[in-house]
Structure 1
Amino acid sequence: MDGGYAVAMWLRRVPVRKILRRTALAVGAAQAVTLASLAVVDHRRKKNRRPAVFPRVPPRSVTAGGSEVTIYTYGEDLYADMLGAIRQAKKQIFFETFIWKSDPVGQEFKDALIAAADRGVRVYIVYDVFANLVVPRSFFHFPRHPNIKIKPHGLGGIALPLPRRLGRNHRKLLVVDSDVAFIGGYNIGSLYATNWRDTHARLTGDIVWDMQNAFIDYWNLFPRKRLPALPDTGGLVWQPNIRLYRNVPRNLVFPIRSMYLDAMDRARHHIYLTHAYLIPDDDMVRTLLQAADRGVDVRIIVPEESNHIVADWLSRGFYSQLLRGGVRLFLFQGAMVHAKTACIDGQWSTIGTANIDRLSLAGNYEINIEVFSDAVARQLEEIFDVDSGNCRELTLDEWHSRPAMVKFSESVLTPFRPLL
């Protein structure tokens, strides 16, 4: 009674607002210290990082309906074929990227695009301004050329910060002469050529029209006086084996999330996911756990250490729930795995730019292909097996035994999950 009376008297003397304010300040201070500590750790980690070593699978082409699909898991292989397509272009090039470094690889792409324009090819370029703030602005200055049209994706609408105005252009897309298209997770830069494990696809055949139309629709979505609209034509054929999904914040359209949820809900045997950042929303977690509960073999590959340490720590907040529910987690070793792929039941697969996080699934401009093909799914499963050999599996016992301070830091960062 004495203790309860003392607490009651203290509450009378101290206004509730002051208690709440002090609590908020204490939480904020803990978050700030945690973020600062992670920044120091991340800086040291990147400074001492060794050259990446990881297994790779040579590109191989398979047929899916009226299209040919070639899957790349190594940047140098991909860049060689992308540059080859650009150098052979005769009519037009649609080039869209999130990050475009001003290093030797980035310069090689820039030179190839300029050379294509010099020989009469119409070149259309889109890049995200925010993603390239650390890149010298001079790199994006192209010579005045009648055949080069550039549309930077900026922050449009700071005065009115609505979700439909703030989405970043996270897409990576190349279409050449309506004949060949490239899509996937690879940005443009020397780091990605050899040190990152990513996944990209080269497409020919019927689906190329859809890829070209995706670029045209985005280009025309943001009209500018000095940049003419591109002609929008109807599709030549309906492609039943490969479908294209595009997140368009401007229109508040986000179908990639629904694509994932529907596919995982249908799973009967296995779900294999490889993702750079795993920060799922409640529906995504529930769907994964329901699949595991009905006996589906659910496996997820994520980097042991990604290029965004805060994203790693936010992702860890889901590990206990997933591991308890029977989901198996594999931590990729020795390199950043940046792929955004999934294969289910040996029949369904997806390759694209969207991560399993809120920014990708309900915020950014993203693009994924959905493929109904045993051959494509089998190839992605082979790649998953190779990647799994470069992982260590995280067990529930190991996860529960982590230090108490680590658990506290993870809980402190929980409010930041909706931001990523």
Structure 2
Amino acid sequence: MAALTTPTAGRVFRTARRAVLALLGVQFALAIGMSLVDSYRRRGKKAKPFPVTPPRTVEVGEGGGEVTTYTYGEHLYDAMLAAIAGAQRQILFETYIWKGDEVGEQFKQALADAADRGVEVYCIYDSFANLVVSPRFKRFPPSMKVLPYGIYNAGWRVFDLRRYGRDHRKILVVDDNVGFVGGYNIGTAYATEWRDTHIRLTGPAVWDLKRAFADFWNLNRRRIMGPSKRPLLLETTPSWEPHIRVHRNVPRLWMFPIRGMYLEAINRAARNVWLTQAYFLPDQDFVDEMVAAAQRGVDVRLLVPLKSNHVVADWISRGYYDQLLRGGVRILRFQGAMVHAKTATVDGTWSTVGTANIDRLSLTGNYEINVEMIDEDLAATLEDVFETDQANCLELTLSEWEARDLHRRFTEGLLNPLRPLL
């Protein structure tokens, strides 16, 4: 009897395995097909004009530091290039995407000019994110110290998950005086066609950005640049700023504090939680925390793109909408342009601006950096930004969601198993 059972069990196992592989194949084929169709449809299309909040500066904390918010790329790039032009001793520049277009060339030339006049210039960019950028653009003068973060960083440690995170951070620090951080990559389209958020910091918090850059540089310099390259050494921060904290996700060290920062803030909320996210693919605990806040009377709003630049992420994100809408969370969809910001405000006091999306890749995978700020004036500024953006949104209601057609429900269900990958 056992002899008959074993081959039968083997056939069942093989059939099940083939079915699972076939389903995965269908899912990936659908995802690739959707991406190709969406890319074709977008060819030649320009973003529509969207409301812009002018830069606004508020003093934060006890150390005399200031925070300036930027929600339009041209305004931000002008400020960054001015800071680079005024550098006297050191520039630390890190970005995920660095396009080889007009804006990208402006930054490259400004950094090269600074290096030529004797400023120490350190640059980091993510090689995978810039695969389509011309190799000619990636040739830098020897006066600049450039670290391209590799496409594959595990070496022989194939199963070491700590070595697979991408460098998704965007940082600029000039001397000890000013630092920039936020969602903006470097490129011409981002200057006018994307709605993003960046901040400019002065005061003691700048040292935390410097340390974040130096730690990443020192962690990766030997493998990429060789043992002859010296580590980037920094002095100790002169003071602490209790109202501003810089949180870093460092997969190599298995450090992921940004997720905890968000969950704690939402858990403490008593009045409002306003989130702006480019790609919203949370885990179930995150969804539960948002719903719990809404059900205890907190005004919970989620602002996302109506159509992002990653159509598959959009479809998978919708798998959470039913829970959110039924739980009392308002979903606002930004129309006409890509909103790429990663910001939040809670109770008119707590705020965050940074590089981390609320998805698995950002919260438990990539190198990310978010600034957490406790200040009522800054929270009011970011609430004004949110309300300006909301004026350009379509709100998704529960009745509209329930009325969606069958093919949309089928596509959402078919793509749902891909959630853990994003």
TM-score where L is the length of structure 1: 0.94
2:153 to 145, 151, 156: 156
**Do the aligned partners of 1:303 and 1:337 also contact (CA within 8 Å) in 2?**
yes
Distance 1:156 1:221 in 2: 12
Write the mapping of 1:25-64 to structure 2, written as runs, cut at 5 A: 25-64=21-60
Deviation digits for residues 87-121 of structure 1 (CA, Å, limit 9, x no counterpart): 11110000000000000000000000000011110
Deviation digits for residues 245-299 of structure 1 (CA, Å, limit 9, x no counterpart): 0000110000000000001000001000000000001111111111011110100
- CA displacement at 1:46 relative to structure 2: 1.4
2:103 to 102, 105, 108: 105
**Do the aligned partners of 1:52 and 1:196 also contact (CA within 8 Å) in 2?**
no
Deviation digits for residues 221-255 of structure 1 (CA, Å, limit 9, x no counterpart): 12422421011332211111100000001100000
Unpaired runs of 5+ residues, structure 1, are 1-11
Q: Secondary structure at the match of 1:201?
A: strand
- CA displacement at 1:70 relative to structure 2: 0.3
Partner of 1:268: 270
**Do the aligned partners of 2:35 and 2:310 also contact (CA within 8 Å) in 1?**
no
Number of equivalenced pairs: 407
**Which one-letter code corresponds to 2:352 in the other structure?**
T
Partner of 2:336: 334
Unpaired runs of 5+ residues, structure 2, are 1-7
Write the mapping of 1:138-157 to structure 2, written as runs, cut at 5 A: 138-145=136-143, 148-154=144-150, 155-157=152-154
- CA displacement at 1:28 relative to structure 2: 3.2
- CA displacement at 1:159 relative to structure 2: 3.5
Write the mapping of 1:5-404 to structure 2, written as runs, cut at 5 A: 15-65=11-61, 66=63, 67-145=65-143, 148-154=144-150, 155-161=152-158, 162-224=160-222, 225-404=227-406
**Do the aligned partners of 1:179 and 1:205 also contact (CA within 8 Å) in 2?**
yes
Q: Secondary structure at the match of 2:301?
A: strand
Distance 2:10 2:364 in 1: 42
Q: Which shows bigger deviation, 51-60 or 121-130?
A: 51-60
TM-score where L is the length of structure 2: 0.94
Q: Which shows bigger deviation, 47-56 or 409-418?
A: 47-56
Could you say what the CA RMSD is over the residues aligned between the two structures, in angstroms? 1.5
Distance 2:156 2:407 in 1: 40
Distance 2:105 2:59 in 1: 33
**Which one-letter code corresponds to 1:44 in the other structure?**
Y
Distance 2:100 2:237 in 1: 36
Q: 1:404 to 1:33 in 2, by over 3 A?
A: farther
Q: Secondary structure at the match of 2:282?
A: coil
Distance 1:29 1:369 in 2: 40
Deviation digits for residues 57-95 of structure 1 (CA, Å, limit 9, x no counterpart): 110100111210000000000000000000111100000
- CA displacement at 1:176 relative to structure 2: 0.3
Deviation digits for residues 25-52 of structure 1 (CA, Å, limit 9, x no counterpart): 5423532442243124312331152333
**Which one-letter code corresponds to 1:60 in the other structure?**
R
Distance 1:139 1:95 in 2: 16
Distance 1:169 1:227 in 2: 20
**Which one-letter code corresponds to 2:51 in the other structure?**
P
Distance 2:49 2:214 in 1: 38
**Do the aligned partners of 2:165 and 2:367 also contact (CA within 8 Å) in 1?**
yes
**Do the aligned partners of 1:247 and 1:364 also contact (CA within 8 Å) in 2?**
yes
Q: 1:216 to 1:21 in 2, by over 3 A?
A: closer
**Which one-letter code corresponds to 2:182 in the other structure?**
G
Q: Among all aligned residue pairs of Structure 1 and Structure 2, give the percentage whose two residues are the same amino acid.
A: 55
Distance 1:83 1:13 in 2: 67
- CA displacement at 1:15 relative to structure 2: 4.1
Distance 1:249 1:365 in 2: 6
**Do the aligned partners of 1:149 and 1:227 also contact (CA within 8 Å) in 2?**
no
Q: Secondary structure at the match of 1:86?
A: helix
- CA displacement at 1:151 relative to structure 2: 1.1
Q: Secondary structure at the match of 1:222?
A: helix
Distance 2:185 2:199 in 1: 13
Q: 1:158 to 1:419 in 2, by over 3 A?
A: farther
- CA displacement at 1:137 relative to structure 2: 1.6
Distance 1:96 1:113 in 2: 12
Distance 1:230 1:159 in 2: 26
Distance 1:221 1:212 in 2: 14
Q: Secondary structure at the match of 1:81?
A: helix
Partner of 1:3: none
